[in-house]
Amino acid sequence: DGGITQSPKYLFRKEGQNVTLSCEQNLNHDAMYWYRQDPGQGLRLIYYSQIVNDFQKGDIAEGYSVSREKKESFPLTVTSAQKNPTAFYLCASSIMYRHNEQFFGPGTRLTVL
């Protein structure tokens, strides 16, 4: 089955620690995205990547970092510089230049203790 996987489903982190969220897709999509979802707010774009070894900041990139070494993988690191990291993180992918048809993974719930 083609799709997007995110791991882990739930993640707990102590303040001051960096943590990396995994996102893998086997849809052969070129573009991948990371969003953050908070209650009462729309999905907010953190980073996106159109091709391997290239990525762009979204609206709320501060305190986050990404890499795109493989087409299938787009991990997100939440650094200790992110002031309010507790949220639901969603990874998505699409055909290049088809941002309007994004496919989402199941999400990772990050809680900072």
Instruction: Provide, rounded to whole angstroms, the least separation between the CB of residue 80 and another protein.
Output: 26
β-strand partners of 62: none
Q: Is 102 among the residues that bind another protein (CB under 8 A)?
A: yes
- Each residue 44-63 as x (binds another protein by CB under 8 A) or -, in order, gives xx--x---------x-----
Strands (E) across 1-101 are located at 4-7, 10-13, 19-25, 31-37, 44-51, 54-57, 64-66, 76-78, 87-94
Number of CB atoms found within 10 A of residue 110's CB: 21
Site string for another protein, 15-44 (x = CB under 8 A): --------------------x----xxxxx
Q: Are 104 and 90 in contact (CB under 8 A)?
A: yes
- Stretch of residues binding another protein (CB under 8 A), selected from 14-22, 61-69, 74-82, 93-101: 93-101
Tell me: does residue 90 bind another protein (CB under 8 A): yes
CB 109 within 8 A of CB 11: yes
Q: Give contact residues for another protein (rule: CB under 8 A).
A: 4, 6, 35, 40-45, 48, 58, 90, 92, 97-107, 109
